[in-house]
Amino acid sequence: MLDVSADLLLGRDPEPESDPHPDWPPDAQPIGEMVLVPLYAHVTAGEGGTIDGTVDEYHYIPLMFIPDGEKDACLLIQTHGDSMIGPSGIEDGDWVLLCYNIEPKDGEIAVVDIDGEAVVKRIYRTDDSVVLQSDNHEIPPRIVSGPALEHTRVLGRVMRVIRNM
């Protein structure tokens, strides 16, 4: 009739709502705001692939994964190969979150374009070369120097690894 609960009429606190997520672990927290990010699926953590500008898909990721102010400067890259297996934890098929406004420091993981070939590696700079180091110790470092440096550009810093189970 009046659509008013007895608790409201009697001045009592209403019954607490039931747990909206009874299957979650007791310490689980909601992720929060999500952001839509493009995925490029053809970059290699091994011998180089290319980034041809074609977005393969779009995926939502938690905004908290993205550094402040970089929401419009990030993209996902799906890696292929085994050169980054090791301390970074990047395995074949993983996604890496690349922020292209953030310049990687020596020893950080970057996506580097070498004459149209894109690779995911740790980067080290010297006065006259760039050393691209795999985490997989079976793969030797790649040293870019001389005229090849003119065709080499750092695309950005890898901020996070995302593994799909």
Per-residue pLDDT of the chain (165 residues; tens, 9 = 90+): 556 666 666 666 666 566 666 677 777 776 778 889 998 876 655 555 556 567 888 989 888 888 888 888 899 998 888 999 988 889 998 999 999 889 999 999 999 988 888 899 999 999 899 999 999 999 999 999 999 899 999 999 999 999 876
Contacts of 42 by beta carbon, 8 Å cutoff, 6+ apart: 49, 50, 51, 52, 56, 78, 80
Please check whether residue 114 is in contact with residue 48, taking contact to mean a CB–CB distance below 8 angstroms.
yes
Residue at 119: amino acid letter? V
Nearest Cα neighbor of 97 from 117, 71, 123 is 71
Output the pTM of the full model.
0.76
Q: Which domains does the chain have, with CATH numbers?
A: 29-162 (2.10.109.10)
Helix and strand numbers (H, E) in the chain are 1, 9
Nearest Cα neighbor of 115 from 54, 56, 51, 158 is 51
